[in-house]
Structure 1
Amino acid sequence: MKRKRNKNIPGLAVRLVIVIMVVLVGIQLFQSREETTLGQEAAPSVQTPSDSYIDGFFTTPDGKPMEYTQTVRLASTGDIMTHGTQINGAYDRASGAYDFKPNFVHVKKYFESAHMPVANLETVTAGGTPQGYPVFNAPDAILDAVQYAGIRLLGTANNHSLDKGKSGLLRTLDQLKSRGLLSTGSFREPEQEITTMEENGVKVGFLAYTYGLNGLDGYLTDQERSYMINLIDEDKIRSDIQKAKEQGCDAVAVLIHWGNEYQQTPNAQQKDLAEKMLEWGVDVIFGSHPHVIQPSEMVEVDGAKKYVIYSQGNFLSNQRRETLPSIGVRNYTEDGVIVHVGLEKDPIRNSVVIRSVSYTPTWVHRYATDTGQQYEILPVREMLLREDTSASLRSRLEESYNNTKKNLTMYNGDLDG
């Protein structure tokens, strides 16, 4: 008997071939995705026509997009100074010791919640008799307080870096190191490795420079001046930025001491140098020295957003309306700001972008006790929201808040940090 021919066989064969091909492609995609998930560095094995294709291509088993970005939050603030009345107020006669920790009680949480908290240390800790302005020499206890506040890195390049000469500079570096605090801007030996912090797979290089040393350069030899304190020198800055990139930094932040004291707007030199540094590869610039807050701005360089704040004002000092009667902006010297910058890294695209910038305005509260003047740095917005804030204190806080708000450009939310 003649067997009937199954007319559906060719169709079944085609479908079988398609199924096999789908399975093979699926295995290949799974292997590629698995390698990328484990290594966080393997590139897709196929050419991706667009970013949206990447986002859709890598998914978790439940179909959700895989997260390939890594984030860190920088928190930076301005000048930490120790004038004579601050030193006296921090002295405990009963114990014979200094304690500056109460100055930071209300703001420490803002640094503790950051991955990379930094500030400018506008004094040395040279040992011996403590001194305030004009030759600063703080008790070592100021470093204990900074550590207590959660600050991890201090810029040490400023016009007071040589107030107690070479020995004062070196002792300050030793005291910082003994507490596990990082520093940048001044060095015992020529800097071979850029000072960095790395969290969540994001490595940030920190550089620091100062416009000058109050004419005290003579404390150092020509050779020592070439490496012990970073002065603003365009060739050196550009070289340091390149070195940071070569040493694997995903982003570069600069702490820079520049500008004119008590001026609320940046001068032409600040603007020009900021533009150059951003073009050379710096991502974030934190300015200090004017002792008042200067404006901030976001600058686009080759399609990438870069950020600069020209001055963060005073974080802790005795500069205020009661002590600077002849200065037209004396009220503004009481104001400071903690700047929060969120950086995000995408290891597939190998780039870091600024995702957020926000601010926590601060104000230095000085009040008298029977042991002397006491100081505390207050987060302005938080204190204004408290019901137990007195009317007189509220008035000063509101003034400070308005002063700060008009100088800063908002990028994400308002002055909440």
Structure 2
Amino acid sequence: MKKLMIIFVLVASLSIGILGFTVYKEILVFKNNDYVEVNKDSVYEDLKVEEDETIESTEEKVSTVKLLTVGDIMFHSPQNKAAYNPETKTYDFNQSFKYIKKYTENADIALGNFETVTREDVSYSGFPRFNTPKESLLALKEAGFDILSTANNHCLDQGKKGLVDTINNIHEYGMKNIGTYIETNNMLVEEVEGIRIGFLSYTYGLNGMDGMLSKEELDYMVNRIDEDRIKQDIENIKDLQTDIIVVSIHWGNEYEMEPSSYQMELGEKMVDWGANIILGSHPHVIQKSQIINKNGKDNFIIYSLGNFISNQRKSTMDNSYTEDGVMVQLEIEKNFSKGETEIKNIDYIPTWVHKYRKDNRLFYEVLPISDYLNGELEVSNKEDIKIRLEKSQKDTMSKMIEN
């Protein structure tokens, strides 16, 4: 604040022999090495402005971004059939995501693992070689998703064309993808509220479909897990002035409830190399989350987010844990004055895939469990699922760390 060194106020005046005082509105202010006559009210206003400017200049500029991530997004054959309207001969997958939409829409960036392809010139199919109507991508876009990881063991299920069509369809609907590429560009950096977030994605393998691409194509079209490459990619994306680095990784062993020693070792290595958020997929069940502190900064790993949506469940494969998923919302904060970015908050939103039949039609819906248990959702079936959801939520939260 500028200092007013001397203020002279002319306050006394004698009038017609009667002693009295008149307060003049004019004030002499010592400013800029001279006395300046100004209006009293304007001085007070100047003082207020100067004080406000000083307060504003000392305040730290801070921005926050909400990143929401989900696990495996899969469409088995029964799901494709459930989305088909025989009258219009069109597909509509929106029903599946109507209950979680408020979460994905509210996030600044919503990210998931798209574990299928959308090739348009061949028939649709489920396991073992997936192919899904591209309307599934439209539903994800309308639900609020922004980025899809496409590096997984099913990304070559329909060959090179399936991989390329999927990328093009994702882009057609205004989303972005990471992990598979048409050209040699494997760096995605998104800037939100002045925070630059780098995204990388890798898969352990391709179900033996590697021969669908030439060696050269394989090197740049699919990011496979290679420690030297991951380390170099992290260093390269750091050079793009990123504040935080997110790695989606398809790894581990299917249906195992705990991460393997390899997952944990590689996860720690990636943090050492500079990754801040590591999002695991592939086991189709939820595995634990973990905080690793490095140089005084917390970094987050979840080894498997479970299934966000699929037809895997107790009735189809005698494994109820495949019905469970978790949405993780990470609040990322950047202090511009200090040049520091950190994970400020972590929220877990357990989900469950609700499959039911009504009016001779099959439905799949992702339910945010707490919303249902709190009475905020009215689901379209008569079956009492409360006990099942309570167990699912308990199982999920038992694996999540508190931040």
TM-score range, shorter chain: 0.7 to 0.9
Of residues 160, 164, 167 in structure 2, which corresponds to 1:170?
164
What residue is the counterpart of 1:125 in the other structure? Answer: 118
Within 5 Å, give how 1:1-400 maps onto structure 2: 60-61=52-53, 63=55, 66-127=59-120, 128-191=122-185, 194-325=187-318, 330-386=319-375, 392-400=384-392
Q: Deviations over 1:284-312 (max 9, x none)?
A: 01110000110001110111110000000
Q: Which has the larger radius of gyration?
A: 2
Residue 151 of structure 1 aligns to a residue whose secondary structure is coil
Q: Is the 8 A contact 1:315 1:377 kept in 2?
A: yes
Structure 1: where are the runs of 5+ without partners?
A: 1-14, 17-21, 25-58, 412-417
Q: How many residues align?
A: 354
Q: Deviations over 1:226-280 (max 9, x none)?
A: 1100000111111111111111211110111000100111001100110011111
What residue is the counterpart of 2:20 in the other structure? Answer: none
Displacement of 1:360: 0.7
Q: Deviations over 1:39-83 (max 9, x none)?
A: xxxxxxxxxxxxxxxxxxxx9548476141111010000000000
Q: Is the 8 A contact 1:89 1:371 kept in 2?
A: no
Cα separation, 2, equivalents of 1:223 and 1:162: 15
Q: Deviations over 1:80-101 (max 9, x none)?
A: 0000111111101111001100
Cα separation, 2, equivalents of 1:352 and 1:144: 33
Cα separation, 2, equivalents of 1:257 and 1:195: 18
Change (3 A) 1:62 1:393: farther
Residue 139 of structure 1 aligns to a residue whose secondary structure is coil
Q: Is the 8 A contact 1:88 1:372 kept in 2?
A: no
Cα separation, 1, equivalents of 2:132 and 2:365: 17
Residue 65 of structure 2 aligns to a residue whose secondary structure is strand
Tell me, yes or no, if structure 1 residue 404 matches structure 2 residue 370. no
Q: Deviations over 1:8-66 (max 9, x none)?
A: xxxxxxx98xxxxx989xxxxxxxxxxxxxxxxxxxxxxxxxxxxxxxxxx95484761
RMSD: 1.9
Q: Which amino acid aligns with 1:179?
A: Y
Q: Is the 8 A contact 1:337 1:360 kept in 2?
A: yes
Structure 2: where are the runs of 5+ without partners?
A: 7-29, 33-50
Cα separation, 1, equivalents of 2:259 and 2:341: 27
Matched residues, percent identical?
41
- TM-score norm. by structure 1 comes to 0.82
Residue 397 of structure 1 aligns to a residue whose secondary structure is helix
Q: Is the 8 A contact 1:111 1:117 kept in 2?
A: yes
Displacement of 1:399: 1.5
